Each structure stands twice: as C-alpha cells, then as structure tokens.
A and B are shown apart, each in its own frame.
Chain A
Amino acid sequence: MFNPDIIKPENLVYKRTSVLTDNVMHYCPGCGHGTIHRLIAEVIEEMGIQEKAICVAPVGCSVLAYNYFDVDSQGAAHGRAPAIATAIQRLYPDNHTFTYQGDGDLAAIGTAETIHACNRGENIVMIFVNNGIYGMTGGQMAPTTLIGMKTATSPYGRDVALNGHPLKITELLADLPGTYYVTRQSVQNAASVRKAKKAIRQAFENQKAKKGTSFVEVVSNCNSGWKMTPVAANKWMEENMFPFYPLGDMKVDGQKVSK
C-alpha cells in the first residue's frame, strides 16, 4: 500500500477487469495462462463485447477457462476447439467466438482442425498458448518442445533422430490463404504484455470486420513442467524459446510480413 492518501477512485489507473470472475485461477503461481486470460478479458471489456463473446475452451491446463471468463463458453473435445468455434461463429456471425488452446491441444491432437479452420478462413479468433510442453498431464514432450529440451518423455532432451523436429505451426498457418492476421507474442514483462494485448485487440477487431481467421500465438512459460521458478522460467524462455520462436507479426491484413 503506502501513500494511502492517493488511493481514491479518481486516481485509479489499473484494476482487475470485471470480465474475469472472482474465482482464484487454478494455474500454478506465475503461469502465463493467467496473464493471457487477463488480456483477453480486458480486450473484451474495452470493446464492450462481453455479451457477444463466446469462449471455446480446450483440454489442457486451461480446460477450466470458463470458470474465469465471465462470458458464454463451450468446452471442446481435445484439439477440436476450432471445429466447435467454426459452428458457433457460423450460427452467430455477429458474435465473437474465440478459441483458447495449448500446444498439445492445437498442434498435436488438433492439428487437422487447426489447419482446416485456418485454411477455410473461419471468422474466429484463435489464441494459441505455446509453452513447449504438455503442462496438464505432467510435462510430456509436445510437438513444440525445443531440440535438447528435457521433458518427462524426453528425459535426455529432445533428440531429432528419435523425436523429430519441433513444429512451427504458426509459420505454417501464416502461409494459408484463409488467415488474415498471424502474430507471435509473449507476456513475460510489462512491454511484451502491452504488445500482446494490442495483438489480441487487433484480432477481435478483425473479427468484428469479418476478415477471416486471426491467430495469436503467445509463447508462455510452464514453470512447473520446466521445473523452474516462475522468474527463472521467464528468463529461460527469453533465452531459449524466443530464438526458435521469434516474436512479431507474420501476417497483417492478409499479407505476409517480409522479414
């Protein structure tokens, strides 16, 4: 607290958005899922679309996302969120259906649904939380696990000869004609959080203008699965994840961004 005389409504510059429920999120301390939820909720509040927003929750740590977003929600079978969102958005074309998925959900078991929804150019917002691991089930290797990265199922580090290459699914989706906006963001410091929020806002604005699929990857930590403290996990992410998963826009207004 301190400076208690400053604490008056007219001096308020930031408070938790009312589009999040008061429930304490079940995520591990310091997990990026919470921050990403908050940004989506803030965008929904700022755009005044709480009554129109529909969340499609995945299987993964964020399976209970509907306990935290105070909007209509639908759970999807593992990996099938883009298919469910396709149906909902087609039935309610003036609503704001968004998917929220981890890398195991979106880039492993749900690869087909992901690619085809993006290729059809469904008018949905897709939020992709890439923490390079299956967090929920105890830290197994994901398609996105980095080469050399240790997980429960790659205890000596991911080995290309045995496990294949990490999948940059977001780069792949940027090449599909149906995607209108494709970007990769992160939420480990204040500057990156502000940028990620702008990207999420852009995605929902595109949807409002019925432009097709907007895809926002957020590279995030799974400090429990990585077996690090939250602060160390964020540092590890900057040093190891960002070189392989570079941040920034890949496709804007339907045009690939040349690097």
Chain B
Amino acid sequence: MAIKGAIVFDVEHCKGCGVCIPTCPNQVIAFSKNVNNKGYNYAEAVNDNCIGCTSCAMVCPDGVITVYKVKL
C-alpha cells in the first residue's frame, strides 16, 4: 500500500520563514524564486514525494499549508 500526499500553499499568507523546509522528511519544500505581494520568497513544493504527514503544516506559524493524503 502506497501513501501519497499533496500540499497547497496559501501564497499570500506565506512569509518565507523557511521553518517548514527542514521539517519535511522527503525534502518536498523549497523557496520559490518568485515573491508574493509582500515581497517574500514563498515556499512551494518542488517534487511529488509528499506523503501527507502534515509535519510542515504543524510548524507553519501562519497556517499557510493545506494537506491532502490518499492510500493507494
């Protein structure tokens, strides 16, 4: 049984603090080269290795990350 996850960022709420990045067991998250309207390099998913563990969402101070998960 495989577990697959997906994360969605509320880009305008992201402050580019980077706290979510080292939390991810699968190195899914990195800073974007682009900035949001506040000028922050926001966080984004850079591969499809997400397992929906919610660790990134747990540590995000701004409640930016929504997490989805399926068992295949």
Contacts and interface: CB of A to CB of B under 8 A. Distances in A.
Interface of A: 1-4, 6-8, 11-17, 20, 24-25, 27-35, 38, 187-190, 193-194, 229-231, 234
A15 B66 contact: yes
Q: Which 6 A-B pairs have the closest CB atoms?
A: A34-B61, A30-B17, A29-B15, A16-B63, A29-B17, A190-B55
A231 B22 contact: yes
B15 A30 contact: yes
A2 B6 contact: yes
Contacts of A187: 59
Contacts of A234: 19
Interface residues of B, number: 44
Q: Which of A25, A29, A32, A234 has the most CB of B within 10 A?
A: A29
Nearest to B57: A14
Contacts of B53: 190
B67 A13 contact: yes
B18 A30 contact: yes
A125 to B, nearest CB: 21
A35 B6 contact: no
A30 B23 contact: no
A6 B5 CA distance: 7
B59 A189 contact: yes
B30 interface: no
A1 B5 CA distance: 10
B34 to A, nearest CB: 14
A2 B13 contact: no
Nearest to B45: A2
B16 to A, nearest CB: 6
A244 to B, nearest CB: 23
Contacts of A38: 61, 63
10 contacts: A2-B45, A2-B48, A6-B70, A11-B52, A20-B63, A30-B18, A30-B19, A34-B61, A35-B61, A193-B58
A11 B65 CA distance: 14
B17 A230 contact: yes
A29 B40 CA distance: 10
A187 B60 CA distance: 10
A25 B60 CA distance: 12
A25 B12 contact: no
Contact of B69 (A11, A27, A35, A194): A11
A30 B53 CA distance: 20
Contact of A32 (B5, B12, B57, B61): B61
B57 to A, nearest CB: 4
Nearest to B49: A2
Given A24-B62, A35-B61, A229-B18, A12 B13 contact: no
Nearest to B28: A2
A194 B10 CA distance: 22
B62 A34 contact: yes
Given A2-B50, A6-B6, A32-B61, A24 B13 contact: yes
B2 to A, nearest CB: 12
Nearest to A31: B61
B10 to A, nearest CB: 7
